[in-house]
Amino acid sequence: MDASELQPITEFIKAQVPFDTLELATLERCCKSLSVGYYSKLSAFVPLDESHPQLYIVRSGAFEVRDNDGELLDRLGEGDYFGFPSLLSGEKVSNRVRILEDGLVYHLDPDTFDYLRVESRQFDRFFNRAFAKRLRHQTRFKAKELTTTNRVSSLMSGDPLVIDVNATVSDAARKMRSARVSSVLVIDNNKLSGILTDRDLRNRVLAEGLEGSLPVHQAMTTKPKTLTSNSLVFEAMLLMSEHSIHHLPIVDDERAVGVLTSTDILRGQSSQPLLLIGEIERQNDLESLIGVSKQIPLLLQNLISADARAEEIGRVLTSVTDALTRRLIVLNQQILGEAPMAFCWLAFGSQGRQDQAACSDQDNGLLLAHEPDEAAAGYFEALTKAVCNGLDRCGYIYCPGDIMAQNPKWRLTLSQWQQRFGKWVNTPEPKALMHASIFFDMRSVYGPSSLFDSLQDKVLAETKDNDIFLAGMTNNSLLESPPLGFFKQFVLERDGREVKGIDLKHKGNALINDIARVYALSAGIKEVNTAKRIRALMESNIINRKDALNLADAHEFIAHMRLSNQGYQYTHSIELSNYLKPQNLSSLVRHQLRDAFKVVHDAQAGIKLKFTRTF
């Protein structure tokens, strides 16, 4: 037989992952070996011959795989497979395949299956992974490392030069000379106490006419800014440029593990996000800030096309927004004068969570240290109006819900904010809570951290273990569910006649944000970034390791799909949206996306059980 004569079968098989990796001759041999069966709902289950395992390839119809106890393991549609576990393990068929919709199924015999595994490593790997049935191995995609998304650990010099806090500056200078470095970390009882640099020796010792016998602790910079080794290089750059420092001690678990210098960073290539932030910090008026912010969409596209991890793209873009906000505050203070009291600029929602993407709107507020008098109130009104207007003109449009610092409703003192949160937490009305959820993802972008902490600590103290509030939040988060229908793989949204596709934001990432938020508030966790929340929840054993990793991967995967979809829309001049049309996806990506949504579905069931069962 000439396989091309059975073109419909060859074409179908050729389009399926992992068969698409096979050589043409191998593929033809494979197609020739198939047998074709048809299964009808009337017979309820696919008859699986225990003594003769096969790979079953679904051509049409819908099926579900259940284990011996009737537990649902998988739902299958066109292009899905079953039967491979017993082919791979040689164990008896133990699962049952229920027929949901009549369909045509191709059978591949074990000899051909083994032959294909030998012929193609990808083929073999695909089924081994599917067998392992662990989402994290399937969805983990390899994002290329960008300089800016590199970790500090990749650039820092490890095994740092250290000196005891009671040594003299001459000892320190000699050590630095023989190690040929420009800084030394000062250690007190194995803990980092300070840093001494060339510049300190010059400015604080020699220029002051002091002796070499001076103890190190009198010349060093105490409590220096530090980062952990898994921080982003980008974050190190920001910290250095904001505080005009050139050396950053790297500390893991209170132990100094290295030093990162500005020279270390410069050795890497100059990077666009940092250049952009540097430019923002150099601008002296609104018009030039608007000009600089025109580069933000391009920055996003560069990050997407470099295939950076979605989480890191969110952090980079949010850092740009933060820098822009801070610059606007500083510039307007130059016009309006010093603020009459301490205040914090609060970011809510996606900026709070550090997961901004294209076309974000503003969600912000102002936290005042105490009740303003009339003059102070006027000052803050003018300041917030100017900053919000500036953000709007830089492309962060006014919040449609008017959650902005320029709205007096969201320009409150510490005690007013505390009361406001207290009301949401203690008398949770469903509707009020729905609008309030973004406030619980808050972060201070500008202002003293002690002021912000007094707000956040109070809020978390009230939410922690507050069953009624958590049940209310959970119920709200369950109003939407992932777009998986009963048999059909994806439920598509329609707008009139036009199929819009899958809403990756509202039916994907937003649901994971909700889940992470409920857990974090229940445990009093301070993190607001969803990935960091999930990590913290895993570390404190609130979510088990496997579920946490699955959820984090699902979050990253869906966010990545959303960004790359927007990258596609951008390059094809289509209006950016959160809708993805699944027919444009390869069948493997469809598999993975479906798995990711299944994780969301399971996690929703998890919070429902944990937080709402008594209500």
Partner 1 sequence: MGFVLRSQLCWRAFVSRSDVTKQYYRSQMPAVSQVFSEASLMAVDLEMTGLDTHSDQILSIGLIPIEKGLLQLNRAEQRLIQINGSVGHSATIHGIVDHQLQAGVSLDSAIEWFMERTRGKLLVAHHSPLDLGFLQVAIKQVTGESIKLLAIDTLAIERKRLLRKQDVLKEGTLRLGACRARYGLPVYAAHNALVDALACGELLLAQASAMGDTQKLTIGELLSVK
What is the contact surface with partner 1 in residues (CB under 8 A)? Answer: 1-2, 5-9, 12, 31-40, 42-43, 59-61, 101-104, 107
The structure tokens 């936290």 sit at: 367
Looking at the Cβ atoms of 106 and 126, the one nearer to partner 1 is: 106
- Phi/psi at 60 (5° precision): -155, 165
37 vs 395 by CB, closer to partner 1: 37
Query: Least distance from C-beta 432 to partner 1, angstroms?
Result: 48
Cβ distance to partner 1 smaller for residue 8 or 70: 8
When the beta carbons of 100 and 245 are compared against partner 1, the nearer one is 100
Q: How far apart are CA 349 and CA 357, in angstroms?
A: 12
Identity of the residue numbered 510? A
C-alpha separations of 53 from 9, 47, 73 in Å: 21, 11, 19
Residues 6 or more apart in contact with residue 334 via CB below 8 angstroms: none
Q: State in angstroms the smallest separation of the CB of 149 from partner 1.
A: 44
Specify the amino acid at residue 130.
Answer: A
**Which conformational region is residue 435 in: left (phi greater than 0), alpha (psi within -120 to 50 degrees), or beta?**
alpha
Q: Which two tokens stand for residue 100?
A: 């949901």
The residue among 339, 389, 390 whose CA lies nearest residue 367 is 339
Q: Which is nearer to partner 1, 36 or 275 (CB)?
A: 36
Q: What's at 503, amino acid-wise?
A: D
Tokens 């229908």 identify what position? 485
In the numeric block, which tokens belong to residue 485?
Answer: 């229908």
- We find the least distance from the C-beta atom of residue 82 to partner 1, in angstroms, to be 16
Strand order in the sheet with 498-503: 493-495, 498-503, 579-580
Nearer to partner 1, 2 or 254 (CB): 2
- Nearer of residues 40 and 222 to partner 1, judged by Cβ: 40
Q: Give the HSE-up count for residue 387: Cα atoms under 13 Å, Cβ half-sphere.
A: 35
Closer residue to partner 1 (CB): 104 or 359: 104
Tokens of 40: 């009808």
Measured from the CB of residue 351, what is the shortest distance to partner 1 in angstroms? 48
- Residue 103 or 428: the one with the smaller Cβ distance to partner 1 is 103
Cross-strand pairs, 238: none
Residue 65 has which token pair? Answer: 């795989």
**Residue number with CB closer to partner 1 (43 or 481):** 43
Distance CA 562, CA 311 (A): 12
Please report how close the Cβ of residue 50 comes to partner 1 at its closest, in angstroms. 16
Classify strands 157-158 and 55-58 as parallel, antiparallel or unpaired. Answer: unpaired
DSSP state of 361: B
Cα separation of 246 and 334, whole Å?
27
Contact by Cβ (8 Å): 511, 604: yes
Smallest separation, CB 66 to partner 1 (Å): 21
- Distances in Å between the Cα of 30 and the Cα atoms of 33, 56, 120, 567 are 5, 13, 12, 37
In Å, what is the CA distance from 439 to each residue of 48, 351, 392, 528?
54, 11, 20, 11
| Alpha-helix residue ranges (DSSP H) falling in 343-397 | 349-353, 374-393
Cβ 389 to partner 1, closest distance in Å? 58
Closer CB to partner 1, 106 or 519, in the complex = 106
Nearer to partner 1, 39 or 424 (CB): 39
Please report how close the Cβ of residue 15 comes to partner 1 at its closest, in angstroms: 12
Q: Extract the tokens encoding 13.
A: 């098989």
Separation CA 474–CA 612 (nearest Å): 7
Rounded-to-integer distance, Cα 228 and Cα 241, Å: 17
Q: In angstroms, what is the minimal distance from the CB of 472 to partner 1?
A: 44
Instruction: Strands of 176-254 (E only): list them.
Output: 183-188, 191-197, 221-222, 247-252
Give the shortest CB-583-to-partner 1 separation in angstroms. 16
Q: Which is nearer to partner 1, 59 or 505 (CB)?
A: 59
**Cα–Cα distance, 181 to 163 (Å, whole number):** 13
**Type and span of the H or E element at 418:** helix 414-426
Nearer to partner 1, 104 or 143 (CB): 104
Q: For residue 229, give both structure tokens.
A: 């080794």
Output phi, psi for 598, to 5 deg.
-65, -40
Q: Which is nearer to partner 1, 54 or 350 (CB)?
A: 54
3-state secondary structure of 225: coil
Contact criterion met (CB below 8 Å) for 219 and 154: no
Nearer to partner 1, 75 or 247 (CB): 75
Beta-carbon count within 10 A of 148 CB:
23
